[in-house]
C-alpha cells in the first residue's frame, strides 16, 4: 500500500474506471494531494473521504469507528488542520492537501517526534484510536507557538480511546511538544 504513495506517479494514481454502482449518482473527477503525492480520481458524490482513503487509496491507517464525527479515529489533516474524514465527502477535497498517518514516516524514514513519543510513552494499547490522536498531535506540534494546556486538552477531547490510555497519550503529546518548543532534541524535518 505504501508503494502507491512512494511512487507519486499521476498515471498509476488515476482511477480511470470507477467500480460499478447499484444506483445512479453523480461522479466527479477530483485532483488533490495526498501525503505529498498528486492524486486524480473519479469519485461518486456520496463517497466519504474516510472510505476514499481506505478503500480506494488503500491507506488503511485512517481508522473508522463511529462514522458520525464523535470518536476521532478517522481524523486526518486537511490543509494542515485536523478534520474528520468521516464528515467530509471526497469530492469536497478537490484542490486540498491531505495528510494521513502513512505520510508521517513513509518507508524507512525515522519516526516523527510525535510517533516516537507515542512509542516511548506507550501512548497506545490496542492502537485503534492512535492514528487519529497522532494526526491531531502532529497539528499541535506544527503550530507557530506552543499550545497551552487548555488547547491541548481541547484538541485531545476530540478523540475517544476505548482502552482508556489517556494518561499516556497525554504524556506522549506533552513530550512531543516539549521537544518541539522547549529546545529539546530536534526532530525529523525541523
Partner 1 sequence: MKPTPFDYSAPGSVAEVLALLADEEREAKVLAGGQSLIPMLSMRLARPGLLVDITRVPCLDRLYVDASGALHVGAAVRQSRAADDPAVHDGWPLLAAAIRRIGHPQIRHRGTVCGSLAHHDPAAELPTAALALDARFVIAGPGGTRTVGAADFFVATFQTAVAPDELLTEVVLPPRAGDGWAFEELARRHGDFATVGVAVTLRRAPDRRTVAAARAVFCGAGPVPVRLPAVEEALTGTDAGAAALDAAASAALAGLTPADDVHATAAYRREAAAHLLVRACTLAWERCS
Query: Given the complex with partner 1, which of 86 and 161 has the nearer CB atom?
Result: 86
Query: Given the complex with ligand FES, which of 128 and 181 has the nearer CB atom?
Result: 128
Q: Which of 85, 81, 83, 79 is nearest to 97 (CA)?
A: 79
The binder of ligand FES chosen from 5, 13, 39, 74 (CB under 6 A) = 74
Chain centroid to Cα 109, Å, comes to 17
Which residues in 3-124 belong to E strands, given as ranges?
Answer: 27-34, 37-44, 75-78, 81-84, 97-99
End-to-end Cα separation, the chain, in angstroms: 27
Binding-site size for ligand FAD (CB under 6 A) equals: 3
**Residue 107 CB, nearest approach to partner 1 (Å):** 28
Q: Hey, how many other C-beta atoms are within 10 angstroms of the C-beta on 23?
A: 6
69 binds ligand FAD (CB under 6 A): yes
Q: Are strands 97-99 and 27-34 parallel, antiparallel or unpaired?
A: parallel
155 binds partner 1 (CB under 8 A): yes
**Residue 22 CB, nearest approach to ligand FAD (Å):** 26
* Cα dihedral value 57, 59, 63, 67, nearest 10: -10
124 binds ligand FES (CB under 6 A): yes
Residues 97-136 that bind partner 1 (CB under 8 A): 136
21 binds ligand FES (CB under 6 A): no
The answer to whether 71 and 63 are in contact (CB under 8 A) is no
- Residues in contact with ligand FES by CB under 6 A are 64-67, 69-74, 84, 86, 124-129, 161-163, 165
Binding site for ligand FAD (CB under 6 A): 69-70, 87
Amino acid at each position: 500500500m505504501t508503494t502507491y504513495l512512494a511512487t507519486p506517479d499521476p498515471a498509476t494514481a488515476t482511477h480511470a474506471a470507477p467500480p460499478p454502482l447499484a444506483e445512479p449518482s453523480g461522479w466527479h473527477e477530483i485532483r488533490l494531494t495526498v501525503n505529498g503525492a498528486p492524486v486524480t480520481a473519479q469519485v461518486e458524490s456520496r463517497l466519504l473521504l474516510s472510505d476514499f482513503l481506505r478503500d480506494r487509496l488503500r491507506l488503511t491507517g485512517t481508522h473508522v469507528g463511529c462514522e458520525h464525527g464523535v470518536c476521532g479515529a478517522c481524523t486526518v489533516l486537511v490543509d494542515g488542520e485536523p478534520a474528520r474524514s468521516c464528515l467530509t465527502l471526497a469530492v469536497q477535497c478537490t484542490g486540498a492537501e491531505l495528510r494521513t498517518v502513512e505520510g508521517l514516516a513513509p518507508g524507512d524514514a525515522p519516526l516523527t517526534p510525535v510517533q516516537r513519543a507515542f512509542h516511548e510513552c506507550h501512548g497506545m494499547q490496542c492502537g485503534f484510536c492512535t492514528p487519529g490522536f497522532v494526526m491531531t498531535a502532529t497539528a499541535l506540534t506544527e503550530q507557530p507557538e506552543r499550545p497551552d494546556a487548555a488547547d491541548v486538552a481541547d484538541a485531545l477531547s476530540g478523540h475517544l480511546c476505548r482502552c482508556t490510555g489517556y494518561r499516556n497519550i497525554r504524556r506522549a503529546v506533552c513530550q512531543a511538544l516539549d521537544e518541539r518548543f522547549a529546545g529539546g532534541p530536534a526532530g525529523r524535518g525541523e
